[in-house]
Amino acid sequence: MQANTYIDGILLAVPTANQEAYRQHAKAAAQLLKEHGATQVVECWGDDVPQGKLTSMPMTVQCKSDETVVFSWIAWPSREARDRGMQAFMDDPRMPGNMPFDGQRVIFGGFRPLVTA
């Protein structure tokens, strides 16, 4: 990963029964994001995501018993490329609709890498 890379991090809860629908949704979104400048899109289905007592990923996205936590990131060449690319993605009429998850519980943010090893 290059030093000037910019990362969007995303955390959400997806109904476990919708895993395949989410995979298809994410695959279509990833293709468009890459067309708009993303260098990498990674979607991770929760496998070992413990429920905490004070804080945890499941608590953050209000994960229900029939849902799975998903952690994703999108790498961009720079913050500027991300701002342009994400706007183009949001404006693209091909952007996948009909989300197989509750979009109100998505947590996201942009990050500058501090350590890359």
Which domains are delineated in the chain? 6-94+106-111 (3.30.70.100)
Q: What is the pLDDT of residues 41-91, one digit of tens each?
A: 999 999 999 999 999 999 999 999 999 999 999 999 999 999 999 999 999
The number of C-alpha atoms within 13 Å of 66 and in the hemisphere containing its C-beta is: 5
* Res. 3: pLDDT tops 80: no
CA separation for the pair 50, 46 (Å, rounded): 10
Is residue 42 a contact partner of residue 72, using CB atoms and an 8 Å limit?
A: yes
